[in-house]
Amino acid sequence: MRLYKLFIFTFAVIFINSCRSAPEIIQKDYEYEKMVFENHRFTFKIHLENFNDSEKTSELIKKLIYQNNTFDEYILFTEKKFIGDIEEEDFPAMIDDDGTEYFYHSDLEESYSIEYYNDLFVIIKYFWWAYYSGAAHGNYWCQYFILDLTDEKILDIDDLIYPIPDKLLKEIIEEEYEIDYYLNEDIWPPDTISLQKDDIILLWNTYSIAPYSTGAIQININDKIIESYLTEKGMKLKKSMNKQKP
């Protein structure tokens, strides 16, 4: 009987712990448009994520990622920031060749996606794309936010990895991309990084080290190459990823 009770107790503990280690991710999508000055259409397509049943972590994400805003509040914050202080005289009324009124348009897409989490760290991928009326083309940006749940902060690149020699980076980049020249002599640092179980992502956004036509440059460096460049915090994240499975 005692063994049976011990078995039930052990099973309950394992079940509770497994439930705690897998918090629910909540998502919300916003897609709408807003007219300004009756002839300038702004469109918004935004995806947001957070945790539903992990209060400490969700509050930290709210604070560090969404500037202490709820999802709905963040949308209003983003909308106001994107539209900005525009002037009506900058968008005069125009008539198209077919006689219809011309509409200016500006478009914004944003996405926050929880890529990885465990008891110590959360990795959130942020993607931004925008087109401003009158521009030759839109532009985009990608960034990884690595949250340290112990220190309650977003880790910088130099918190996780020491500088990798430009020569090594150029060799890896040129194996994957047709690049004739670089906009900057210095390749390090990338715009953003993300650690994975078997490698590390280094990413340079458009215009960072190459022309717009090249696009964003992303390389994945194998653990065997990158291990000696990881800081103590970087090693801690890698080890935690191997120990825990989200």
Q: What pLDDT is recorded for position 91?
A: 87
Q: What pLDDT is recorded for position 209?
A: 95
Give the residue from 239, 244, 65 showing the smallest Cα distance to 154. 65
Q: With a cut of 70, which residues of the chain have pLDDT below it?
A: 1-22, 99, 244-246
User: In sequence order, what are the residues at sequence separation of 6 or more whose Cβ sits closer than 8 angstroms to the Cβ of residue 100?
Assistant: none
Q: Which amino acid is at 70?
A: T
Q: What pLDDT is recorded for position 13?
A: 43
Domain parsing of the chain, residue ranges:
17-154, 156-246
Q: What pLDDT is recorded for position 10?
A: 46
What's the pTM value of the predicted model, to 2 decimals? Answer: 0.87
Is 156-246 the same fold as 17-154?
Answer: no
The CATH number of 156-246 is 3.90.640.20
Per residue in 28-53, pLDDT (tens digit) is 999 999 999 989 999 999 999 999 97
Go through 18-43 and write b for each residue having 16 or more CB atoms within 10 A of its CB, e for each that does not: eeeeebebeeeebeeeeeeeebbebe
Give the residue from 240, 232, 199, 237 showing the smallest Cα distance to 218. 199
Q: What pLDDT is recorded for position 246?
A: 46
CB atoms within 10 A of CB 56: 10
Look at the chain and count its residues: 246
> Where do we find the tokens 């397509």?
45
CA–CA distance, 211 with 207 (Å, rounded to integer):
5
Domain 17-154 -> CATH class: alpha beta
Give the residue from 44, 28, 24 showing the smallest Cα distance to 36. 44
